[in-house]
Amino acid sequence: MSTYKELTAQIETLQKQAAHARQSEIADAIADIKEKMKDYGITLADLGLAGGVKKASKAKEPVAAKYRDSESGSTWSGRGKPPRWIAGKDRDLYIIK
């Protein structure tokens, strides 16, 4: 029967072997994929990867105010949760013209 130290040493050795085998298989898979892409003229765009890097999304422009409270001067674009000063009231009274 093996001792705890022997078993942990075996585990460590097997983990190193598994990591090495994984890296080797990944390298082989990448080489195979590159070869097939070259043979068939496949591009990253064909795979939906467009260069492999996601483009930065455009910064959203702020929406112009659509409503104004004449008492406080507060404004609201009409998007999202309505502020207290307009909630439940006729919005036509607050439209900015």
Query: What span, in angstroms and rounded, lies between the C-alpha atoms of 38 and 25?
Result: 20
Burial class (CB in 10 A: 0-12, 13-18, 19+), 76: buried
Could you tell me the pTM of the whole model? 0.45
Residues 43 and 63 in one domain: no
Show the domain range for 62. Answer: 58-97
Specify the pLDDT at position 67: 94
Residues 97 and 69 in one domain: yes
Render pLDDT for 19-71 as a digit per residue (tens, 0 to 9): 999 999 999 999 999 999 999 999 888 888 865 556 667 788 888 999 999 89
Residues 45 and 76 in one domain: no
